[in-house]
Every structure is written in C-alpha cells, then in structure tokens.
C-alpha cells in the first residue's frame, strides 16, 4: 500500500523531480504526524479535564497490574 501511494504520488504530482523525490522521502511522516497529533490532543485533554486524567491513570495502573509487568 505504501509503495503504491509513493508511486502514485511520483507519477501524478505536477512538480519538478526534486519535489517528487522530497514527496517520496517525506511520505512516511504522514502517519507519524497523525499519531503525534492524537497524542498531543490526548495529553491536552488529560490536563484540561482532570477527572479524565485520573480515570486514565487508574485504567493504566489496573492494566499494568493485570498484565503482570
């Protein structure tokens, strides 16, 4: 799927070769940016809503305890 996306981008983009190569190299940053954005939003929610933060900490603690790590 990744290779198909890169190939499609390289073929269909109307840019110079340097921009095409840049697109191919930066393509993996899209999913990483998504995960980072969601993590930042969750961290902000934990600060903005302390009850949610406390519930998340309790859930994480219980999950850790049950997993036996």
Domain range summary for the chain, segments of one domain joined by +: 2-67
User: Digits of tens for pLDDT over the chain (69 positions)?
Assistant: 777 877 777 777 777 888 878 877 887 788 888 989 988 988 888 888 888 888 888 898 898 888 876
pLDDT at 53: 81
pLDDT at 69: 60
pTM value? 0.48
pLDDT at 4: 82
Phi, psi of 27 (to 5 degrees): -50, -45
**Between the CA of residue 38 and those of 10, 20, 64, what are the distances in Å?**
28, 28, 22
The number of residues in the chain equals 69
């Amino acid at each position: 799927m990744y290779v198909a996306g890169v190939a499609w981008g390289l073929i269909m983009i109307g840019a110079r070769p340097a921009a095409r190569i840049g697109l191919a190299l930066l393509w993996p940053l899209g999913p990483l940016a998504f995960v980072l954005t969601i993590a930042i939003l969750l961290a902000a929610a934990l600060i903005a809503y302390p009850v949610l933060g406390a519930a998340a900490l309790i859930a994480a603690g219980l999950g850790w305890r049950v997993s036996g790590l």
